[in-house]
Amino acid sequence: MRFDVDGLLDDPATRIVVCCGSGGVGKTTTAAALGLRAAERGRSVVVLTIDPARRLAQALGLDGLDNTPRPVAGSQGHGRLDAMMLDMKRTFDEVVEGHASQAKAQQILENPFYVALSSSFAGTQEYMAMEKLGQLHAQAEADASWDLIVVDTPPSRSALDFLDAPEHLASLLDGRFVRMLLAPARGPARLLSVGLGIVTSALNKVLGAQVLTDMQTFIAACDTLFGGFRQRAEATYALLQASGTAFVVVATPEPDALREATYFVERLSSEHMPLAGLVVNRVQVEAVPALSASAAEQAAQRLADHAGEQHEATAGLLLIQADRARQRQRQDRLRKGFAGAHPEVPTVGVDALAGDVHDLDGLRRVGELLGAQ
């Protein structure tokens, strides 16, 4: 089944498109191309990118990192295209500032644990991407600035990380250990069980006493935020399950990328999250479908054997064809494997381009390949 990308982008009920997939498959390019195409087909779009290539960022006017959407110059038609690049730390700081008194917020922002947590990549980026999505969505609902949000997801070690990270972080900050660390400050001393005694002394041994003190200060200061963290994680989760949301899984016709795509498709289905389709980037173009790899190779061999240098140019071209046909064959097999397991997932292949995409024209070209019927 073919993935009707234009149908998805044109449907006013589509409010959020989430592009996900493993690293290096062209997720950011796909997100930007979908955003541009939707805008040029009349939607008011904001694209949230996580870590775009420098030249693509420049093409989108994202040189300045100010964590707010800016209009993209050069988008054609009646629609509108804004884009932004996520500033993870700043987004986290804003969450803290929005949920705590000024004095308390200051205390949190300066805590070494907070500094490490908010600037690390282990889950924070995923969490903040979802936080930012929530903010953009709220803004879009409030003042109708956009009717479509396209989100790129962080280059995680696994495509599933961004689904789990918010919940993981929320459960850590709201978990049993944290509550126990806070317990002495809150209630009767008997809550300080033998277990916690062992735990704290072990941590002191390993980390050094000052670390635990910092951790306790951080957690105590964050106390007011905990409810907030969990609530926000739940709200984001609900937003991802809503009917206006569409997930686009991005892959390349390579075993690792398709395996990640398979995990993702299965996970989305078990979480009742709406999957719109699979985009397979970098599909080898079939220049001469009538000429198979082995036929081309044999023909090249015949030319070399019988005609020598006279036809060496054609022999070279035939070998290129053989290589391309073999690549394509391998890719087709891999894609068939995916389709066999998930025949219900609409798919679109995007031809491999000779050069890299780093301007609006390139994005428009990718958009055409995505939308072409």
Partner 1 sequence: MSDWARVRLHVVTGKGGTGKTTVAAALAMALARDGRKVLLCEVEGRQGIARLFDVEPLPYEERLVAVAPGDGEVRALAIDAEAALLEYLDMYYRLGRAGRALDRFGVIDFATTIAPGVRDVLLTGKVFEAYRRRQRAGPPVYDHIVLDAPPTGRIARFLNVNAEVAGIAKVGPIRKQADSIMQVLQSRGTAVHLVTLLEDMPVQETADAITELSAAELSIGGIVVNQARSTPLTATTRKAIATGSLGAAELLPALKTAGLDDLSATPGTVADGLLAGAVEHVERLDLEERLLADVEALGRPVYRLPQLSDGMDLAGLYELADALCEQAMA
**What residues from 23 to 42 belong to the interface with partner 1 (CB under 8 A)?**
23-25
262 lies in the binding site for partner 1 (CB under 8 A): no
257 forms part of the interface with partner 1 (CB under 8 A): yes
180 is an interface residue for partner 1 by CB under 8 A = yes
Beta pairing partners, 16:
149, 245
148-167 residues near partner 1, rule: CB under 8 A: 155, 157-158
* Cβ-Cβ contacts under 8 Å for 327 (sequence gap 6 or more): 284
Return d(Cα 59, Cα 72) in angstroms, integer.
8
Q: Provide, rounded to whole angstroms, the least separation between the CB of residue 323 and partner 1.
A: 6
Which residue from 47, 105, 300, 350 is in contact with partner 1, where contact means CB under 8 A? 300
User: Is residue 205 at the binding interface for partner 1, with CB under 8 A as the rule?
Assistant: yes
- CB-CB contact of 47 with 150 (8 Å): yes
- Distance separating alpha carbons of residues 156 and 189, to the nearest angstrom: 42
Strand partners, 71: 82
Instruction: Report the DSSP beta bridge partners of residue 70.
Output: 83
Closer by beta carbon to partner 1, 12 or else 24: 24
**Residue in 12, 72, 10, 1 with CA at minimum distance from that of residue 244:** 12
Which of residues 69 and 253 has its CB atom nearest to partner 1 in the complex? 253
Which residues lie closer than 8 Å to 193 by C-beta, 6 or more apart? 180
- Please, what's the b/e burial string for 3-14 (b: 16 or more CB within 10 A of its CB; e: otherwise)? bbbbebbeeeeb
The residue from 234, 312, 361, 368 that contacts partner 1 (CB under 8 A) is 312
Q: What type of residue sits at position 119? A: S
- Binding to partner 1 by residue 342, rule CB under 8 A? no
Kindly state whether residue 211 participates in binding partner 1, applying the rule CB under 8 A. Answer: yes
The least distance separating partner 1 from the CB of residue 182, rounded to whole angstroms, comes to 13
Question: 182, 192, 220, 317: which one contacts partner 1 (CB under 8 A)?
Answer: 317
Which of 270, 272, 306, 340 forms a contact with partner 1 (CB under 8 A)?
306
Q: How far apart are CA 355 and CA 99, in angstroms?
A: 47
Q: Which of 75, 153, 252, 262 binds partner 1 (CB under 8 A)?
A: 252
Length of the chain: 373
Among 10, 44, 53, 94, binds partner 1 (CB under 8 A): 53
Is 307 a residue that touches partner 1 (CB under 8 A)? Answer: yes
- Residue 318, classed as helix, strand or coil, is helix
Report the residue from 323, 337, 359, 365 that binds partner 1 according to the rule CB under 8 A.
323
| DSSP reduced 3-state for 151 | strand
201 is a site residue for partner 1 (CB under 8 A): yes
Binding string, residues 107-126; x marks residues near partner 1 by CB under 8 A: -----xx-xxx--xxxx---
Residue 339 touching partner 1 (CB under 8 A): no
Alpha helices by DSSP H, listed for 144-175, are: 161-173
> Which residues ranging from 221 to 240 are in contact with partner 1 (CB under 8 A)?
none
Shortest gap between Cβ of 320 and partner 1 (angstroms)?
5
208 binds partner 1 (CB under 8 A): yes
Q: Which residue in the set 1, 191, 320, 372 belongs to the binding site for partner 1 (CB under 8 A)? A: 320
| Cα–Cα distance measured from residue 100 to residue 118, given in angstroms and rounded to the nearest whole number | 16
* Separation between Cα atoms, residue 108 and residue 172, nearest integer Å: 17
Nearer to partner 1, 220 or 319 (CB): 319
Q: Are strands 80-85 and 245-251 parallel, antiparallel or unpaired?
A: unpaired
291 token code pair: 């000429």
Q: State residue 362 phi and psi, 5-degree precision.
A: -60, -45
CB of 239 to partner 1, least distance (A): 24
Binding residues for partner 1, how many (CB under 8 A)? 83
